[in-house]
Chain A
Amino acid sequence: MEQKILRFVELLRQNGVRVSLAEDLDSLQAVAAVGFSNPADFREALRATLVKRHIDEPTFDSLFNLYFRGLGGDLVEHLKATESALGFEDADLQNLIDALSQSVQELGVQLSELARQLLTADLGRLEQLLRQAARHVGLDAVERPFQEGRYAHMLAQHLGLSALAAELEELKKRLRGLIPSNDWEKVQKFIDLRLQDLTRAIKRLVRQELEKKEPTLRESERIDRLGEKSFYYLTEEEIRQMKEAVTKLAERLKNIVAVRKKRGKRGRFDIKDTLRKNLQYGGVPFRIEFDRRVKDKPQILVLCDVSDSVRNVSRFMLQFVYTLQDLYSRVRSFVFVSDLSEVTRLFEEQDIHAAIEQALSGQVVNVFAHSDFGRAFRIFHRDFLPAVNKKTTVIILGDARNNYNLPHEWTLKDIRQRAKQLIWLNPENRLTWGFGDSEMDRYLVYCDVVEECRNLNQLYRVIDRIVH
C-alpha cells in the first residue's frame, strides 16, 4: 500500500501539485492513523496531508478517483448493461447464472478460471485476474495514446482471450442439448455478451492507466506562461483566465501595500524626544520614544486610452485602475479616446465587470472616434489641471497612436510640472514607438517613467514600482 500511495504522490507532482518529501511521510503516518476501513477517511487523510492549496483540490479529487477507484465501478456497469440488453430484472440474471453453473457442473466440464469468473460474474476476482495480467505485461509503462491498442492486445494475449473464446464456443455446443430451447437463446446471448464485457474491461483498464499519465491540469504553469503573453494575442478563454490572474496579482499587491504601511509605522529611536519625555522621571528613561514617520498617501490620477486599437489591453488596465481605486482612497480615473471623461464615480458605485463594460461600451466617451491624444490632454488640461498637485502621480495608459493629429505635448509639460511624477505605460513594443502615427517620442521627454507594458509580468513590475 505504501508503494501505491507513493506512486499516487508522484502522480500529484506530475500534475502540478507541490508535495514535499516531508508531506509524503506525513501522509503515510496519517493513513496508518485512520486505517483503511473507510474509503472516505482514507481520502481525507491523504487530502489533509498532501494538498495544501485549495485550488489543488479538484486535481486531487480527479486523480484520486482515477487512481484508487479501480475497475470495480466499470465492471458493475458492464454487467448492468448486459442485464438490460437481455431484458432481465435483477433476480433473472442471478437465476440464469445459477442455472448455467449447475449445467456446467452436470456436464462435468472443467472450465478455466477466467471463464468461470466471467460466467459467474465474480467481479472482485475478475478484477484481480485483470490486474495480475496487467502487472505481467508491464502496463505501467504505457505512456502515449497510440500505445493503447498495443497494450490492450498484449493484455488480451496474456489472458488468453482467443483460447477463452474457443472454450466458450465449445461450452455452448455442449450445453445445447442440456438447456430447454426457450432459455437457450438467452444463455447463448449471455455468454457472448460476457465475452464482449471482458474485452471492454481490458480496454478500460488500459485507458485508465493512460489517463493517470496524462498531465491534466497544470494550472500554475499555464498562468505563468500567460504572464509572458502579449495582451494583443489573447483568446476569449485566455481573457477569462487572465481576469483570474489579475485578481490574484491584485491580492499580492494588497499584501505588499500592507507590509510597506507597517514598515512605515515605527521609526528609529528618537533620542531628543526620549530625553524630553523622561525629564519628569528625573532623566531615567522609563519611556522610550521612536519617531513616527508620516507616509503620504499616494494620490493617483489615471488616464486610460480605450480606443479600438488597444481594446484588449484597456480591459486589463481598467481592471487594474479599478483595483487601485479599491486600494487607495485618493484615486481618480479618466478614460479617453478623443474626448475625455471621468469615471471615478462609476468605478466606485458599480462592481468591476459592470463598470468596465460601461467604460468600454461608449456610454462614457465615444469609443468609435479616432483617438486623439492631443485633444484629450487639452481637455484634461483645461478641466482637471487643478486636481494635479505635488502629491499626485499621474499615470497615462495608451499607445500614443494619434492618427496624425496635433500632439499638444505642452499639456504634458504643464501636468509634469505640477505633479509629483508622470508615468506612461505603453502596450506597444518599444521598437515600434515613434513609427507611423505614434507620437511616443514627443511625449516621452515629459514623463518621469516610461514603460513598455505588454504583458502581465511587465504590468506587475510597473505597479510594484508605483506602489513604492
Chain B
Amino acid sequence: MVSYASQPFSSIDEVIARFAAHKYICNRRIATVVYLASSLQKPILVEGPAGVGKTELAKVLAATVQCELIRLQCYEGLDEAKALYEWEYAKQLLYTQILKDKINEVVGGARSLREAVERIAREDNVFFSDRFILPRPLLRAITADRPTVLLVDEIDKADPEFEAFLLEVLSDFQVSVPELGTLKAKHIPLVVLTSNNAREMSDALKRRCLHLYIDFPSAAQELEIVQLKVPEIHPQLAEELVHFIQRVRQLDLKKVPSISETLDWARALVLLNAEALEQQLVEDTLNAVLKYEGDIRKAQEELKDFLSRRKTERQGRETDADKDLLH
C-alpha cells in the first residue's frame, strides 16, 4: 500500500518560519508553492536564472522536513540506465564464471540441449534479482523505506526523451522492471525539478507540476540574505554592495551576477576587512562577481558612476549635518 508522508507543514506561515530557521529566506510565493506541493503531493518545477537558489530550495526543503535528499543531476545523454536502474553486467558475469561448476551440475543430467536450456531458464531469476540490480537515484527515491526529497537538477539539460520517461515515473510513482515486476513507491517523495530555461519544458511535464519562477530578489530581500549568510559583514558595506549589484544587474551583461555570486563577493570583501566599497578594492575583486572581461569593463564604468554619486551624496549629507550644527 502506498502510504503518504504525513503532512510536513500545517500552514504557509509555518513554511516561511521553518525555512528561515534553516537560513533560507523565502517570500510568500515560494512558501505557498512549497506548502501546496507538500499538501497536494505534486512535484515543483522551479525555473529562473542561474544562481537564485533553486537547488538550495530543495536542499533546505529536505533539511526542513528531515528527509534524505536524493539528487539526480541531469546532463546531455542521461538515460534510464543512469537515472533509474542498471543490471550489474560484470557482476552477473563474474558470478557465472565462479559458479561454473554449479551450473554444470544443474545442466549435468540433461539429455538434450532443450532440456539443459529448460533447466537454466528455471534458475534465471537468480541472476535477475535484487542482488544484481544497481539502483540509480529515481529507483532509490521510490523504493526508500522513509520519505525522501527527490531533486532532479537542471532538467533542461537532459534530452526531451528523458523528460518523457520521467513523466511516467512522476505521475504514477512506480517503475516497472521487466525481470522483477512493478515496483511501487512506499512513500511518495517530495519532488523538486529545477530548470535554467535553456530549453522550454514539454507541456505534459509542466501540467503535472506546480510551477514556480524565482527571479532575482529585491534590494531589501537581497540585503537580508547577505546579512543572514555573511553575518560578519559591516552593515554599511552590505548595503552598498547590494545596491551596487542591483545596479549592475540592470546593465546589458553576458552573465548577470547571481545571489551566490553576491555572497561570494561579500565573503571575499569580509576577508579583506573592507568596510565600504572603494575603487581599488572593487576593481581587484570584481572577478568574483563577473566572469567575462567585457562585463567587468562595463561594471567598472558603472562603478565609477556609482562612487562619484555616492561621494556627492555623502558631501550633501555632511553639509546638511553642518547646517544642523550651525543652527
Q: Which residues in A have some Cβ–Cβ distance to B below 8 Å?
A: 18, 20, 22-23, 26, 29-30, 33-34, 38, 40-41, 44-45, 47-49, 51-54, 57, 251-252, 254-255, 258-259, 261-262, 265-266, 284-288, 349, 351, 353
Most buried by A among B90, B197, B208, B211: B211
From B29, B94, B200, B210, give the contact of A49 (CB < 8 A).
B210
20 residue pairs bridging A and B, Cβ less than 8 Å apart:
A26-B42, A26-B210, A30-B40, A41-B28, A45-B36, A48-B210, A49-B211, A52-B45, A52-B203, A52-B209, A53-B200, A251-B198, A252-B199, A255-B198, A262-B76, A284-B93, A286-B93, A287-B90, A351-B294, A353-B252
Check B207 against A52 for contact (C-beta < 8 Å): yes
Instruction: Say yes or no for B246: interface residue by CB 8 A criterion.
Output: no
Of residues 24 through 58 on chain B, the ones whose CB sits less than 8 Å from some CB of chain A are 28-29, 32-33, 35-36, 39-40, 42, 45, 47
From B32, B159, B209, give the contact of A259 (CB < 8 A).
B159
Contacts of B160 in A (CB 8 A): 259
Check B206 against A52 for contact (C-beta < 8 Å): yes
Measured between C-beta atoms, what is the minimum distance from A346 to chain B in Å? 13
Closest residue of chain A to B295 (Cβ to Cβ) is A351
The answer for the CA separation of A255 and B212 in the assembled complex, in Å, is 23
Instruction: Say yes or no for B316: interface residue by CB 8 A criterion.
Output: no
From A18, A52, A255, give the contact of B199 (CB < 8 A).
A255
Instruction: Say yes or no for B66: interface residue by CB 8 A criterion.
Output: no
Instruction: Say yes or no for B146: interface residue by CB 8 A criterion.
Output: no
Closest residue of chain A to B199 (Cβ to Cβ) is A255
Instruction: Say yes or no for B285: interface residue by CB 8 A criterion.
Output: no
Measured between C-beta atoms, what is the minimum distance from A249 to chain B in Å? 12
The answer for the CA separation of A22 and B167 in the assembled complex, in Å, is 15
Instruction: Say yes or no for B319: interface residue by CB 8 A criterion.
Output: no
Q: Would you give the 0/1 interface string for B178-222, flagging 1 where the beta carbon is closer than 8 Å to chain A?
A: 000000000000000000011110010011111111000000000
Measured between C-beta atoms, what is the minimum distance from A52 to chain B in Å? 4
The answer for the CA separation of A255 and B202 in the assembled complex, in Å, is 13
Contacts of A265 in B (CB 8 A): 77
Measured between C-beta atoms, what is the minimum distance from B89 to chain A in Å? 8
Instruction: Say yes or no for B131: interface residue by CB 8 A criterion.
Output: no
Contacts of A41 in B (CB 8 A): 12, 28, 32
CB within 8 Å for A20 and B207 given contacts A33-B35, A33-B39, A33-B40 = yes
Q: Which residues in B have some Cβ–Cβ distance to A below 8 Å?
A: 12, 28-29, 32-33, 35-36, 39-40, 42, 45, 47, 76-77, 89-90, 93-94, 97, 159-160, 197-200, 203, 206-213, 252, 254, 294
CB within 8 Å for A261 and B76 given contacts A52-B206, A284-B93 = yes
Known: A54-B47, A259-B76, A288-B89. 15 other contacts (CB 8 A): A18-B203, A26-B40, A34-B12, A34-B36, A38-B12, A45-B32, A48-B210, A48-B211, A49-B211, A52-B203, A255-B198, A262-B76, A265-B77, A287-B90, A351-B294
Measured between C-beta atoms, what is the minimum distance from B26 to chain A in Å? 12
Check A262 against B93 for contact (C-beta < 8 Å): no
Check A22 against B40 for contact (C-beta < 8 Å): no
Contacts of B35 in A (CB 8 A): 33-34
Contacts of B294 in A (CB 8 A): 349, 351
Contacts of A47 in B (CB 8 A): 29, 211
Contacts of A261 in B (CB 8 A): 76
Contacts of A33 in B (CB 8 A): 35-36, 39-40
Check A44 against B33 for contact (C-beta < 8 Å): yes
Check A48 against B36 for contact (C-beta < 8 Å): yes
The answer for the CA separation of A26 and B212 in the assembled complex, in Å, is 15
The answer for the CA separation of A286 and B211 in the assembled complex, in Å, is 45
Closest residue of chain A to B44 (Cβ to Cβ) is A48
The answer for the CA separation of A26 and B39 in the assembled complex, in Å, is 12
Contacts of B97 in A (CB 8 A): 284
Measured between C-beta atoms, what is the minimum distance from A22 to chain B in Å? 5
The answer for the CA separation of A428 and B24 in the assembled complex, in Å, is 57
Measured between C-beta atoms, what is the minimum distance from A344 to chain B in Å? 16
Contacts of A38 in B (CB 8 A): 12
Measured between C-beta atoms, what is the minimum distance from B134 to chain A in Å? 16
Contacts of A251 in B (CB 8 A): 198-199
The answer for the CA separation of A153 and B24 in the assembled complex, in Å, is 55
Closest residue of chain B to A353 (Cβ to Cβ) is B252
The answer for the CA separation of A269 and B67 in the assembled complex, in Å, is 41
Closest residue of chain A to B201 (Cβ to Cβ) is A52
Measured between C-beta atoms, what is the minimum distance from B7 to chain A in Å? 10
CB within 8 Å for A40 and B33 given contacts A349-B294, A351-B252 = no
The answer for the CA separation of A373 and B93 in the assembled complex, in Å, is 67
From B89, B203, B254, give the contact of A20 (CB < 8 A).
B203
Closest residue of chain B to A49 (Cβ to Cβ) is B210
Contacts of A351 in B (CB 8 A): 252, 254, 294
Contacts of A29 in B (CB 8 A): 40
Contacts of A259 in B (CB 8 A): 76, 159-160
The answer for the CA separation of A258 and B78 in the assembled complex, in Å, is 12
The answer for the CA separation of A30 and B198 in the assembled complex, in Å, is 29
The answer for the CA separation of A30 and B40 in the assembled complex, in Å, is 7
Contacts of A284 in B (CB 8 A): 93, 97
Query: Which 7 residue pairs spanning A and B have beta carbons closest together?
Result: A52-B206, A44-B32, A262-B77, A48-B210, A52-B211, A262-B76, A48-B33
Closest residue of chain B to A282 (Cβ to Cβ) is B97
Closest residue of chain A to B34 (Cβ to Cβ) is A48
CB within 8 Å for A258 and B76 given contacts A30-B36, A34-B35, A48-B36 = yes
Measured between C-beta atoms, what is the minimum distance from A347 to chain B in Å? 13
The answer for the CA separation of A427 and B25 in the assembled complex, in Å, is 53
Contacts of B252 in A (CB 8 A): 351, 353
Contacts of B211 in A (CB 8 A): 47-49, 51-53
Check A57 against B77 for contact (C-beta < 8 Å): no
Closest residue of chain A to B27 (Cβ to Cβ) is A44
